[in-house]
Amino acid sequence: PCRDELDVYASCSDLDWAMELGFRKFKIGNFIQPSDGVAGINRLEDEVGAARDKVGPDADLMLNVVMGYNVEFAIRVAERLLPYRLSWLEEPLMPWDHGGHARLKAAVPTMPLATGETHRGRHAFAALIAAGGVDIVQPDIGWTGGITETQKIYALAETAGLQTILHVGASRPEAQHFSLAMPECVLAEYNIRSAAGIPLEEVRRVPGMPVPRDGKLRLSDAPGLGTEYRPDDFAPFR
């Protein structure tokens, strides 16, 4: 590890529950599309403004679009949301549209852009980085080729002066360890999938995997990834 603990942000729709759990960094979801026009942008601005008021002026706040916009609409949204000081706008466009990302970045240069969870392998990330339309790369360690390939992607991003913040980097053990080991992985994502009032320990995906406490993640020094699988955790393959 290059640090004792990792800062974690909550991806969720219930900011009150995330704040009760001690998180201080948050990502909310998008609910509009280009066909919603100005009225949709107005509603989104109201939602983002309410979220900013709730979490306070000093909290990290991000918006995840999930590939929902075209370039023209993304530019309009990014311009409108600048006053709310988003830490980044995530996946505004389809992943293959590297030229569109570059156009968006050129049009609204002060809005940080993050993408990459659906890119596969280092060659896709090399093209994305070369296009100049991304500030934070977000490989998913389980989809893009595992720890080894993600390390190569990290090296490409670091060489370009970009941060790597893994997709669900605090929600799976190999991503937790990777994020804690790499200097530019300064933040990790934890998806809150449970209802308010249910402790995170009761819904974690992997036995023995630590969960964030007060927005921080500490890992044990147990062997390997620190998981605690037992024979009865597995079902026969049929």
Residues carrying an active site annotation: 167
Q: Are strands 6-11 and 88-90 parallel, antiparallel or unpaired?
A: unpaired
Q: What CA–CA distance (Å, rounded) separates 173 from 115?
A: 21
Give 132: exposed, middle or buried? Use CB within 10 Å, 0-12, 13-18, 19+.
Answer: middle
Q: What CA–CA distance (Å, rounded) separates 208 from 222?
A: 10
Asked whether the CA dihedral 44, 47, 52, 53 is positive or negative, the reply is positive
What DSSP string runs through 75-140?
HHHHHHHGGG--SEEE--S-TT-HHHHHHHHHHSTTS-EEE-TT--HHHHHHHHHHHT--SEE---
Q: What CA–CA distance (Å, rounded) separates 224 from 236?
A: 24
Q: Are strands 6-11 and 188-191 parallel, antiparallel or unpaired?
A: parallel
